[in-house]
Each structure stands twice: as structure tokens, then as C-alpha cells.
Amino acid sequence: MNSKTITREQLAGMIDHTFLKAYAVHTDFDRLCQEAAKHRFAMVAINSSPVAYCKKLLAGTGVHVGAAISFPLGQTALETKLFETKKAIEDGADEIDYVLNIGELKMGNTAYIEEEMRRITDLCKSRDVLIKVIFENCYLTKDEIRLAAEIAREVKPDFIKTSTGFGTGGAAIEDVALMKSVVGESVKVKAAGGIRDWEMCSAVIDAGAERIGTSFGIEILRQFENARKFEDKE
């Protein structure tokens, strides 16, 4: 996808409209889902508990419900992640974003990371649910990012994702490019964390991102429309 030629409809369809706060209540989810349906975003990104509630709100809209699993630390056992994933799917989740076990990756335990990724991916694909693996790149070296992406290239989840948005850093353009260079066309890349304007959004798209996780989706669309109007006048 090229940010110079992308349409508003295509851009909206790449955005995961996000609200992952601990203090979220039903009125927050009401607003989130109304906005997602109005702007035709790809998905609402929420924690796993309110999945069933949001599924009802979005019935018939075409907007997916996405559940964040082992969020935001990734430090739960594999069986716990599998249980949470299964429950979210039973509640109506169309997409799963899980945080890999960052500590195991940093210790070089590639067998664990591969098993975790493969079992969660297999579970999701058996239920026809999209699966995204969150790396949390701010805690990883470039070699560790590359290693996780190499594992993903073999396992083939639908997406690998830069960040939770809760770490010490978010999406970095060079990390998106690195991840995409490793997985090629076999796996897509989602950029998330710190994407608050069209300038940053367009940069990660051009680096290879095909999904954008952000709570600033409406503002990004507004800036996109203004940028297009300015370009048309030139």
C-alpha cells in the first residue's frame, strides 16, 4: 500500500480503533463502537472481558471485534493465553492480538516462542479468526526483532505487530521496515503505539504496515482528508 495513492476508504479499513484502558466502562465501548461503525474502521481493539458486549453493538456493521490477550505484558503461561484466546473467540472475537513472552525471547528460548506462536495461531485459524503477534519492540534489540519475525515467517500468523502502546516506546518506522523485510509477503505487519497523526501513519504505511492500531483514528482521517484537499489545489 502506498500512502500517496491510498483512498479514505482504504485507510479507514486499515485502522484498529483502540480503547484498552483499565477504567473502561460501557459508555466508553458504546462510543468506541459507534465511531468504528460510522467511520468503517477495520476493528475495535479492546481487552478480552468486553468482547461479548462489543460484539452485540457491532452486529451487522462489518466491523470486527479484536481481543487483546495477555495484555500488555505477555507474562502469562501459554495455557493461560490459550484459555483466554478460546474464551474471547467464544464470546465473539473476530481477531486476536496476543503479546508474546518477551522474557523468553530475550533469553533466546526460540523453541518456547515458536510453540507459543504456533499453538495460538493454530487455535485461531481453526476458528477462522485473525491472529496478530505483538512483539513489543521497545524492549527488544534489532536482532531479537529479526529472530521473532523469522519465527513468524515459518509459523505464519496473519500479522506481526510492533507494540502494545503501553511500553516505553511505540511503533518505529525502521522497526516496521525490518519486520516487513523478514516476513515478506507471507505475514502482514501491524504498526501500533504512538501513531497520532497522518504524518506518522503515512510513514509506517510506506514502511510496510497494513494495519494501524491507534486511538487517534478519527483525527488521522481528518488530517488525511485535509492533506488530500491541499494536494488537489496544487
Name the active-site residue from 161, 175, 180, 188. 161
58 vs 45: CA distance, rounded Å: 13
* 188 a catalytic residue: no
Using only C-alpha atoms, what is the Rg of the chain?
17
Q: Helix and strand tally (H, E) in the chain?
A: 10, 8
Name the active-site residue from 132, 180, 188, 190. 190
121 vs 103: CA distance, rounded Å: 20
132 vs 11: CA distance, rounded Å: 19
* 97 a catalytic residue: yes
* 190 a catalytic residue: yes
Secondary structure E strands in the chain: 15-18, 43-47, 64-69, 95-99, 130-134, 159-161, 188-192, 209-214
Distances (CA, A) of 98 to 13, 36, 130, 150, 201: 21, 21, 11, 17, 22
183 vs 149: CA distance, rounded Å: 6
Name the active-site residue from 16, 94, 97, 175. 97
- The secondary structure of 164-183 as a DSSP string is -SSSS----HHHHHHHHHHH
Q: Give catalytic residue positions.
A: 97, 161, 190
